[in-house]
A and B are shown apart, each in its own frame.
Chain A
């Protein structure tokens, strides 16, 4: 069974440039999450989708971050424009969406903003 697939694996950009991350969740998982992990910290939730609906985006900096999950399958997270403080690992996870169901994480995209 394929796991959560993320791309790109690494991204280096200059500040003020746009960047996008892509995630394909495990087949059949209707809940998808985007987390951000800063160096030396634990992952922090940015947004959670139930199918194509964003049910929790309270931690998403909406002035520069946007996300979409068209058709309720794969998802894209975008930053425009990127700032130096956005350098982090962006993790995508998926689950079956039932209470207590464990999350499966992708390998993440490591973003460096110069």
Chain B
């Protein structure tokens, strides 16, 4: 039972354009959402998060949007840079519990 789903295993985007990564969840108890970025042979690193009381959070080139009614969140990267090429994981937690449930990841490739 995959509670956090990333339906696009891969995405290619031209450098300078916007990258949009999507994530859907099924557990209505999730109230905190995070995006992690992972380079090969490294552990995931935190990128950005959003609480369920917000619908948008922005940090530099990265913006996360949350649509609670649709149980959907997305990560926007603009402009995309070659260093953004990595696997991006969406994660969620419920009731302030620190246990994170991860999606299966989306491999983003930025084309120079």
**Same complex origin of A and B:** yes
Question: 21 A–B contact pairs at CB < 8 A?
Answer: A31-B98, A40-B105, A41-B104, A42-B102, A42-B103, A42-B104, A43-B44, A43-B100, A45-B99, A48-B98, A100-B51, A102-B34, A102-B49, A103-B46, A104-B45, A104-B46, A105-B36, A105-B45, A107-B41, A107-B42, A108-B43
What residue of chain B has the Cβ atom nearest to residue A9's Cβ?
Answer: B41
| Nearest CB in chain B: distance from A94 CB, A | 11
Contact with B along A74-114 (1 / 0, CB 8 A): 00000000000000000101010101111111111000000
Residue ranges of B at the interface with A (Cβ–Cβ < 8 Å): 4, 9, 32, 34, 36, 41-46, 49, 51, 89, 91, 96, 98-100, 102-105
Q: Which residues of B contact A40 (CB under 8 A)?
A: 9, 104-105
| Nearest CB in chain A: distance from B44 CB, A | 5
Q: Which residues of A contact B36 (CB under 8 A)?
A: 105
A contact face: mostly helix, strand, loop, or mixed: loop
A106-B105 Cα distance, complex, nearest whole Å = 18
How many residue pairs, one in A and one in B, have C-beta atoms under 8 Å apart?
53
Interface size of A in residues (CB-CB distance below 8 Å): 24
B102:A44 contact, CB within 8 angstroms: yes
Q: Which residues of A contact B4 (CB under 8 A)?
A: 42
Residue ranges of A at the interface with B (Cβ–Cβ < 8 Å): 4, 31, 40-45, 48, 56, 91, 93, 95, 97, 99-108
Q: Which one of A4, A101, A107 lies within 8 Å of B98 (CB-CB)?
A: A101
